[in-house]
Structure 1
């Protein structure tokens, strides 16, 4: 459980970093989100912040695990899809 709590804190911090330093996320966000990249950086930051908090809190950890798995699958599929069409 301590590992999941730590992972949640790291994910939440990464999500917050999307707002603090959005330019740092542009290079990795441009491929899966070529249109409106800046807005997608904020959306993904909010998603990662929320999922990270869910993982870090005991009562919401299971939902956080499911949400993180779904988010990772969606993000991976979108990246693969956009890389094939690029």
Structure 2
């Protein structure tokens, strides 16, 4: 991944994370699929996670760790949706 691509991708993910705080209701239908209880709290948690992962991907020195974090996070979310746990 080029430095420019990493920065754009990372900042896009970080912006999505911030949007969880600015407009949480927009994310609640999706969040509810994985976290049926305490949806608003999980919306904020997911936003914070996406913000951190996005900033890690945007910064060159932490890009590899950020991409690894994104893979783990995506897998964990998929598991939550598929098992509804």
TM-score by length of 1: 0.92
Task: Find the aligned partners of 2:10 and 2:39 in 1 and give their Cα distance.
Answer: 25
Q: What is the match of residue 36 of structure 1?
A: 38
**What is residue 26 of structure 1 aligned with on the other side?**
28
Work out the number of aligned pairs and report it. Answer: 83
- Structure 1 outlier segments of 4+, above 4 Å: none
Per-residue deviation at 1:22? 0.2
- Post-superposition shift, 1:78? 0.7
Which residue of the partner structure matches residue 18 of structure 2?
Answer: 16
Q: 1:6 aligns with which of 5, 8, 26?
A: 8
- RMSD of aligned alpha carbons: 1.1
| Separation in 2, partners of 1:35, 1:79 | 13
Residue of structure 1 in register with 2:58 after alignment: 56
Matches within 5 A, 1:65-80: 65-80=67-82
**Gapped runs of 5+ residues in structure 1?**
none
Compute the displacement of 1:76 (Å).
0.7
